[in-house]
Amino acid sequence: MSEPTIPDGLPENIREALGAATVDEVRTTRRGLRTFDLHVRDGWPVRTLKLAPTNDPFAVLSEVDRLEWIDRRLPCPKVLASAPLPEGGHAVVLSLPPGTRADTAEHVTRAGRTVEYVAQALRFVHEIPTDNCPFSARLDLRFRSIKRRIGIDRYDASTFTPPYNRYPVSRLYEILEETRPAEDDDVFTHGSFGLGCTLLDQTGVSGVVDWGQAGVADRYVDLAAAVRSIAERLGPEHIPAFFQAYGLERPDPRKLDFYALLAEFA
């Protein structure tokens, strides 16, 4: 199997920002966003190339907009270059804060410490003041967006994670409506929080990355995503320690279930 490489035909400012970087890993989301984790010969800053598809350039542009607002509020990526792609879509090159992702082997082997750091990172996110925040991810907006996407057949239930992929999209949406929480606990949320977006160094949290879905919403958006990430990478036995470190004595299981299902429609 051939090693992943940086695509040809990128705009000049994107290529200049990449320098002599080589590709370590490529990840693709359900929205078609491709993320290239890069290795830079001269060390820091580590860079990431993100390419949004032709039919959804906002998959990248949404993060660029949010990073401009988050900057100076929390250690986050810096935009080195941004440009539309010749065939459509959009490209961005980001420099990342120092540190390694919390889902890498060096941190997974120290699960107890890692869970504490991840909970600390999420507290940092949720403590960002929401005054004058221009980004909303509240439920009314999310529900309207999901209904539009269902109407144009943008969802494929087979791509959802178990056990949700056993049900038609229409039924899953009905469950969302039936179990919608009566009250919201709004904070500034990351939107897709987990071990993979938390950067750690020897002293603790060094940064948070992947901000494309950030906005004001219920804190359980992030709590449900964190629980799933911890269960999958570290094991469900570490979830109580996460909530203790976060400072939530009695998490609401109904809200965790609701926001876990909502995440399937991201």
What's at 168, amino acid-wise? P
pTM: 0.93
Residue 176 neighbours by CB under 8 Å, 6+ apart = 143, 146, 258, 261, 262, 265
* Complete DSSP assignment for 116-184: HHHHHHHHHHHTS--TT---B--HHHHHHHHHHHHHTT---GGGSPTTGGGS-HHHHHHHHHHH--SS-
Write out the E strands in the chain.
22-28, 34-39, 47-52, 78-84, 90-95, 100-101, 186-189, 198-201, 204-208, 215-218
What gap in Å lies between CA 131 and CA 128, rounded to an integer?
9
Tens of pLDDT, residue by residue, the chain (266 residues): 567 899 999 999 999 999 888 998 899 887 789 999 998 876 667 899 999 999 888 889 999 999 999 998 999 999 999 999 998 999 999 999 999 999 999 999 999 999 999 999 999 999 999 999 999 999 999 999 999 999 999 899 898 999 999 999 999 999 999 999 999 999 999 999 999 999 999 899 999 999 999 999 999 999 999 999 999 999 999 999 999 999 999 999 999 999 999 999 98
Indicate the DSSP class of residue 3: P
Q: Which two tokens stand for residue 123?
A: 């507290």
